[in-house]
Structure 1
Amino acid sequence: MNGPVTWLVLAYRIPSEPSRLRAGIWRRLKALGAIYVQNSVAALPADPAAERALRTLRAEITQMDGGSAQLLTADALAGGADLVSAYNAARDDEYEEFADRCRDFLAEIERETAACHFTYGELEENDEDLKKLRGWFEKVAARDRLGAAGREAAEKGLEDCGRALDGFADAVYTADTDAP
């Protein structure tokens, strides 16, 4: 991160019932990578894509019966480093969860290798799992606009998964070639 961060701040009010509305807004903000400054006040580093998404969300909230929302740009006068830390901590949590899934993937490859379960079906299943991991990483990395520390380890985990799958594929090909 270079210099101070300008933030987009969405302050909103929606009825407490039905709770699915509140949960839906929370899920959408989480998918964008927003952090909550306090209840019903979420912040994102400003950029055109985030602004479009938050303007759309604001419009949806104001269409709800009893809903209201304001979208602001803000520069922190004090506590800006706390916002950046909170934003990066949220990304690091996502990277850690991702790294856990990478470890699960590697353990699965190890189990299949130990059992000599070298089939094309298993290879295809593992290939699909790796594609999902890559897609997940891309989503988290796209939200990581302030340089969270966990990115490097997550990237390494994904590379390890790719190498493990390549090795497993070689074993499947060898088993196929050696088959009568």
Structure 2
Amino acid sequence: MSKLVKLTNSNIGALFVLDKNATSEDVLDMKGCYAYDRKKYLSQTFYLGEGLIGQAYLEKDNICLQEIPQEFSKISSGLGEIPPKNIFIVPVMDDEKVEGVIELASLEIYKPHQKELIEKVAERLASVLKNNKQSIITKSLLQESQKMTENMRASEEELRQNLEELEATQEELNRIGRESTSQMETANSRLAD
């Protein structure tokens, strides 16, 4: 966010990424920010369709505001606070699937080349986010597979031990059977004499 804010002469920026909340609902969760009032905004989350961030997600379209209401975030410095003159909100999309939303604010009106740069960054960021999610899923599946393999090995070892015990029991039964047969033969031969 820091580099994008500086490249576009913005003053505030935030990245909201598609995620799941505690109840497994899709939400846009702030994952990065630059110059936001951290106390107020650090753990900001939007439901899909909620506010301008959620609306940009649903509509898969940019939102550009030039008349900013006073209650919106202010750009702060050591000298005071001032409302931005321009807010530009861009969905982060890859193959028509929105992975997140970028929000930038500036004391100046964004020029067409700045908007184009922001849109290109959003496209590339979508690929990165998509690949990152795939990596996380792949890693999770690999860990699950390794755990299943370990469980199968443990089960296989337990089965092998049970088989060895069964063979030992079978040998013991065979030995007892041979001894019983031998004793019966001895008893029969004594009876026959």
Report the TM-score, using the length of structure 2 for normalisation: 0.29
Bigger relative contact order, structure 1 or 2 (CA pairs below 8 A, ≥6 apart):
1
More strand by share: 2
